[in-house]
Amino acid sequence: MAIKMIATDLDGTLLTSDHRISPKTKKALQRADKMGIKVVPASGRPLPGVLPYLKELNISGHDNYAILFNGGVVQRLTGEKLISNDLSYADLKEFLHYQKLGKVNLHFMTENHYYTMDRNLSIIMAAASALNNMKIRVRDLEQVPEDFHFIKAEFSGPANEIKAFKQNLPEVFFDKWNASSSGISSLGTDTIEVNNLVASKGLAIHQLAHRLGIHENEVVVFGDQGNDLSMFENNNFYKVAMGNAISALKERADFVTKDHDDDGIAYALNKILASQV
């Protein structure tokens, strides 16, 4: 199998529980990069939240890319946007309406900031702000202009509250937007991440690969959570589920590797790339 692109989720996949790239995984990805294979983060994070890790891998510049906001944006690492699927002020108002169905926080992500109308910030919102090097702006609805656009919304809170909230959401919610789940298990929190209906990691990888002249069967994807599911629904990608992945990914995977705290990416890549030397 000739591989030309590796697309990997970050949290729970590329990164260990303490948000590091393990030495073995770093070595494996740098080896792939030197072989001319594109190493592309496919994350719910914004660009400031992925650049420090790519810098650690010595991957940078105009000819390298990141899939961000769960596929809401595809950017060159220099910042140029290639694909953007935004949400509007009308979406914001609808999300605020749906927020009333549960005891959850809600924030809206632009390229540079988090915006929220909540005065009491959730733990996961504060943690995400720190991890992604993005400041939170607290605003009243009256302070938000009607031409406001954003890339992703996130409902967040304790896992049990998010579960109850999700059960209260009507089917039309999932028909109108692309909603997926992720969380920080160590904090006992969960999120529902909401994008434009046409935005997903799987579609963004397909679009970027096509742009670069890479066939889908030359792409390897790594993931662990519900927001990675779209990558695993493409039958042409070679799909690697982490050992800590949810069962829905493992059931669709071509290979289940070790978990993110046990060099899972390195373990899989050493097997995959052995035939490509």
Angstrom distance (rounded) from CA 209 to CA 227: 19
For residue 262, indicate whether it is catalytic: no
Do residues 22 and 263 make contact, with C-beta atoms less than 8 angstroms apart? yes
Angstrom distance (rounded) from CA 42 to CA 38: 12
Q: Is 43 helix (H, G, I), strand (E, B) or coil?
A: coil
Q: Give the residue from 15, 83, 80 showing the smallest Cα distance to 54.
A: 15
Q: Supply the Cα-derived Rg of the chain in whole angstroms.
A: 18
CA 197 to chain centre: 15
Residue tagged active-site, from 9, 11, 91, 190: 9
Sign of CA dihedral 248, 275, 22, 75: negative
Pairing of strands 113-116, 238-241: unpaired
Question: Rounded to the nearest 5°, which phi and psi values hold at 115?
Answer: -120, 140
Full DSSP string of 187-245: GTEEEEEEE-TT--HHHHHHHHHHHTT--GGGEEEEE-SGGGHHHHT-TTSEEEE-TTS
* Paired tokens of 240: 């690697």
Q: Which residues have a Cβ under 8 Å from the Cβ of 147 and sit 6 or more positions away?
A: 89
User: Which residues are catalytically annotated?
Assistant: 9
